[in-house]
Structure 1
Amino acid sequence: MPYFSDIQSVALFVSIIAGFFIGKKLAFEQLVKDKQCQHLVFGSAVCLTLLWAIQTGIPGSPQVHFLWLSALPLLLGFRWAMLASLMALLSLTLVGVEQISMLGINFLVSCLAPIGLTYGIYSLTFHKLPRNVFVYIFLCAFIPGALTIGLKMLLMSGYYYFDGIYTWQHLLDNYLMITTLLMFPEAMFNGMTITLLIIYKPHWVFTFYDKHYLDSKN
């Protein structure tokens, strides 16, 4: 049996509750009947698994990896993006890349928080700002890409500190300092993904509407 600290146990409990409320509104019959939905959800989960498996970092410090979690909710929508990210996380946990005891923390910090932030920014820009393709790419994909990896690493640092795994100075010098090196590539990765998708496969992108973003009257 893996050992769970108090923080890990609470995080796992909160993750189960959050997963239940997110999952109960998923149209699983659509996943069964719709081939495109299957390809997008499972294909995204495979891509995330491969991407997250490529980890690096300073020896003796937490590992880091790119997220790709700003493009994902724009492509799939909030709930399907959560399912795809959960499948990737479970896969990596089962093969030992991630620790079982970290499952709740990883779900909240590496899945729910980045996807929730991105979808919140998308919803805000959709309702409050002019709807054009440049706003969509830069404010919904590019900038959230940088913000999500910054948020993830800040929240993870908080966990490592409060659970007594690393000192704050160690995290500042060996983990958080890497954030500035990752933010721009993460932003570019997500921005280019969405740019290519809306050019070549706009019908795949759940949140992209031609009449809103390409119609000059909007």
Structure 2
Amino acid sequence: MTSWQLISWLSAIAILLVFFPKEFIPRLLQVEGYQHLVFASAVCLTLLWSVKAGIVPGLELFFLGITTLVLCHGWRIAMWICCLPLALLLLFGTVPLVEGGAFALTTFILPGLFSYAVFSWSYHYLSRHLFIYIFVAGFINAALTIVLKILLTSGWFYLEQAHSWHTIYQNYTQLALLIWFGEALLNGMAITLMAVYRPHWLRTFYDNEYLSPER
């Protein structure tokens, strides 16, 4: 394990512990149906992160689904839910153990925080309308989040000197131009369906604000 890999593990663990949501365990135990939502979210993420595609081994892309998770649970709970898929990927060798910390930072901790920041910005500075929630907090947010994830991962690969910057840019970073729309569409559709049929699943969606006839 290199010094950067150790630092990434320590940083990820520190962030998870410092921002541990105290309401998560009581909510998990007391709120009816919440366990099913949490574990369904973890299963969906595991499937999304297991399906990878790329040109150069080690430089694979996959859909995130982080924006939907953050809008459903909030950033702090979403981080801890992501730990279960990460543990499974580490167990089955899909993600090398030494890269677990970097994977956490670049896949769900920092992108998740960014995604929540975009939602928060849209909530405070844009009209609170269903279309704004779906298109900005969902669609555009997801597109920006996966671009950030790709940039963070590109920087990590370069920092680790796993590949030359030319190889990383040509075979990984540029692919952000291809995957952003798929990620945005996936999350946008999920948010739309939940906002219409299961609004109580979205912790960041408020019926009295986004569906108010006065807005």
Normalised-by-shorter TM-score class: over 0.9
Counterparts of residues 17-166 of structure 1 (less than 5 Å): 17-23=14-20, 25-166=22-163
2:212 alignment counterpart: 215
Runs in 1 of length 4+ with deviation above 2 angstroms?
24-27
CA–CA distance in structure 2, aligned partners of residues 24 and 90 of structure 1: 19
Percent sequence identity is 37
Q: Which moved more, 1:145-154 or 1:34-43?
A: 34-43
2:191 alignment counterpart: 194
Q: SS at the partner of 1:207?
A: coil
What do the CA deviations read for 1:176-215 (whole angstroms, capped 9, x no partner)? 1211110001000000000011111111111111110010
Structure 2: unaligned runs, 5 residues or longer? none
Offset of residue 38 of structure 1: 0.8
1:179 and 2:176 aligned: yes
Offset of residue 59 of structure 1: 3.3
User: Aligned partner of 2:127: which letter?
Assistant: P
Cα RMSD (Å): 1.2
The 1:132–1:157 alpha-carbon spacing in structure 2 relative to 1, beyond 3 Å, is same
Whether the 8 Å CA contact 2:21–2:77 is kept in 1: the answer is no
Q: TM-score, normalised by structure 2?
A: 0.96
Whether the 8 Å CA contact 1:52–1:66 is kept in 2: the answer is yes
Structure 1: unaligned runs, 5 residues or longer? none
User: Aligned partner of 1:196: which letter?
Assistant: L
Offset of residue 61 of structure 1: 4.7
1:205 and 2:180 aligned: no
CA–CA distance in structure 1, aligned partners of residues 21 and 207 of structure 2: 30
CA–CA distance in structure 1, aligned partners of residues 168 and 193 of structure 2: 36
**Count of residues paired in the alignment:** 215
The 1:205–1:24 alpha-carbon spacing in structure 2 relative to 1, beyond 3 Å, is closer
